[in-house]
Structure 1
Amino acid sequence: MTTTLHPAVERADLLIGLKRYEEARELLAGRLTEDPEDVRAWVELARSHLGDEENGAKALEATERALALNPEDIGALLTHANALRVGGRFPESEGVLREAIRLAPDHWYGYARLADWLWRIRIIGSGQANGGQVQREDMLAALRESDLIAQEAIRLGPEKVYAYEVAWLIADMSGDRTAADRMDEAILRLDPQHERALARRTQKAATAPGVKATEAATLYADALASAPGSEPMRRGLDAASYRLLRGLRWLALLCLALSAAGIDLFATEGETQRELPLVLGQRLWDLVPMAAVWALGALLRYRRLRAGVRVNLPSLIRRLAWARVVLGQAAWAMLCALLITQIPWTERTVPLVLFWAGLVPALATMWFDRPRNG
């Protein structure tokens, strides 16, 4: 049976949704002065205290008043369970949630909430019984018990995202990646813009073996278009963008190697090195393969990037010092390559110094800076 809410209680409910808890409490205080037996007003008052996350005792007092008026009120029981959790009496919430399920056995939410909390309660109990150490057997048993309840919540509420979120968390804690992925797919079917599920799916695709930096950046950029506020996906896009910048350093080192080959910098057994200085036509010709490397490896790739990735690249350079270091190393290697090929050297001593000067700084940090992406 649907309960008709007093207008003041309805307004308080809206204010709580807007996180304007103090205003909601003022309305509810007036309503409870007028009718101290309004169960819904007591429940909403408890919710307003829970919103502050610091008034667990006051929330408990309000739910106890509501349950004293109607011990079988489902909303009061669920809010009381939450108040017990916030008020430091978490294990007691199990009994309250089981009572809510007994009174409303066909309502999905009680099962979902119990599944969400039960394994945590069991782990707390295991830790207390074993001197702070949680036994693995106890944890797995708790997760199995909770999973059965979560599956019942899904059966009763097949279109409710929260039920699948609980099942995903239990599968993740159990290490069952197949079940966790299946829950993510179900969540995204119901809510294609679900931030956490979208971030998990995108990260899995972007970090799969063989996925290149361009593909990873595209995946994150596409996902951010659906959930622009996702911090994990922003970090993922930064990581992929950083990989793209590191690729520029490889292009510069390739050009440095081409410059060394262009003037026969290193003697090869059985072959005569070119005479120095190289003629102007040969020096200009040495620029052609370098230009091709940058045109195909950087310019063409950049033009094909998603707009979001192109915007993120300069932003990352401004925000991340290591991105600037990588670009600086690429520019330095290219400068050395140009000096080697374009100056009419009469001997190879200085070009050899330039070659190692361009190569060593990049090699010295190439592996060290791999995780420097955030």
Structure 2
Amino acid sequence: MSTTGQDLTEQASALLSLDRVDEAKELLARRLAQDPEDVRAWAKLARCHLRVKEYDKVVEATGAALAIDPEYVDALIVRTYGMRRTTRPDESLAAAQEAVRLAPLMWQSHVALAEALGAWQPRWPEVLEAAQEAVRLGPEETAAYYALWKASLLNGRGDITALAVRETLRIDPTDAWALQEHADRQARAPGVRPKKQAEVYASALAADPASDRMRMGLDRAVFQMLRGTRWLAVLSLVLAGGAIDLFPSDGDGPGLPLPLGTRLYALALIGVIWAFGAWRRYRKLRAGVRLSVRSLVRRMFWARLVLAQAVLGTLCAVAIVAVPWTDRGVPQVVFWVGLGPTLLTIWFDRPRTR
């Protein structure tokens, strides 16, 4: 291979590592135009196609590489994934087994074998064995732990799943899938409140801003927090109704209008409910979560509706205790205007939290 050819292939490898797949393809096409027998360039081209899920082209490129050198291990490894994704499990397994035979001490061979074996449920225990062997051979390779994570999911081994995530984050604290799994595990732990869930997802999103999965998790947690504000409005309405005894059991409550001191005291209690229930909580949120609250309100109709109902319910509660009513008829209507739609949508919008 000429020096120019080596340079083109090396440059393509560097571009592929930066996810600049199209540029890598162009360089490899130039290299193969110079030397169609360059098996390494064919294998790199196959990896480019694999990165963008062009699985038929993966099979074609690895076929060209193996026609030149039937024992080129990297081509066999990549071919395993191409065959697996084009629903040719027998050929995928054959390629992986040949890679292991030729390079038994290469952790990538065992990762490929674990991938191929996953096509048959009765062989899932073998998937875990292959992944564990990959980790043994590559204890500092995040891809080996990713294979172990997938294998442990197939076999229902939660302890190994957690181990794979921990070890991956030890090696690379910014690894995308491990951050996602760690965040999901923390957020789904029993007793974790929406505020904590939002902070967990915000931390993961800061490390991997492009993660749609973390963005969805953060949006879900923020929406659950916003839903909670309506319960503060409901509590304010109940307190206001109790202050003037809107629905007296004996048909006759305390005389109206209420004294100014009583009304001011009820208003102060409503203020305390919101101070401890919302203002204090939201004031202490990390900046990323606060920004997400504003973003979700702009993007999501149901988030805007939730806030509108919380505001409406609270304003109704304030109106009930602030105005010196002389009759209970009007404040009763105000009470149901604030409470009825809110309770209905609390039940109706529950699916939006999923």
Counterpart residue number, 1:196:
177
Cα distance in 2 for residues equivalent to 1:211 and 1:87: 41
Cα distance in 2 for residues equivalent to 1:218 and 1:5: 49
Partners of 1:63 and 1:80 within 8 A in 2: yes
Compute the TM-score of the two structures, normalised by the length of structure 1: 0.84
SS in 1 for 2:139: coil
Cα distance in 2 for residues equivalent to 1:4 and 1:155: 37
* Correspondence 1:29 to 2:32: yes
* Correspondence 1:145 to 2:126: yes
* Correspondence 1:325 to 2:267: no
Query: Aligned residues: percent identity?
Result: 44
Choose the corresponding residue for 1:351, options 331, 342, 351: 331
SS in 2 for 1:371: helix
Report the RMSD for the aligned CA atoms in angstroms.
2.6
Cα distance in 2 for residues equivalent to 1:204 and 1:47: 32
Partner amino acid, structure 1, of 2:332:
L
Cα distance in 1 for residues equivalent to 2:64 and 2:318: 82
Give 1:215 deviation, angstroms: 1.6
Counterpart residue number, 1:258:
239
| CA 1:219–1:64: 2 relative to 1, 3 Å | closer
Partners of 1:108 and 1:152 within 8 A in 2: yes
* Correspondence 1:70 to 2:69: yes
Pairs within 5 Å for 1:195-234: 195-234=176-215
Partners of 2:12 and 2:25 within 8 A in 1: no
Any unmatched runs of 5+ in structure 1?
Answer: 123-138
What's the CA shift string for 1:128-154, capped at 9, x where partnerless? xxxxxxxxxxx1x31101111111111
Counterpart residue number, 1:135:
none
| CA 1:312–1:356: 2 relative to 1, 3 Å | same
Count of paired positions: 349
Cα distance in 1 for residues equivalent to 2:197 and 2:140: 31
Pairs within 5 Å for 1:304-343: 304-343=284-323
Partner amino acid, structure 1, of 2:100:
I
Counterpart residue number, 1:156:
137
* Correspondence 1:302 to 2:301: no
SS in 2 for 1:192: coil
Any unmatched runs of 5+ in structure 2?
Answer: none
Counterpart residue number, 2:345:
365
Give 1:112 deviation, angstroms: 0.8
Cα distance in 1 for residues equivalent to 2:9 and 2:55: 20
Compute the TM-score of the two structures, normalised by the length of structure 2: 0.89
Partners of 1:67 and 1:76 within 8 A in 2: yes
Partners of 2:81 and 2:112 within 8 A in 1: no
| CA 1:254–1:85: 2 relative to 1, 3 Å | closer
| CA 1:340–1:16: 2 relative to 1, 3 Å | closer
| CA 1:364–1:51: 2 relative to 1, 3 Å | closer
Partner amino acid, structure 1, of 2:160:
A
Partners of 1:199 and 1:233 within 8 A in 2: yes
SS in 1 for 2:325: coil
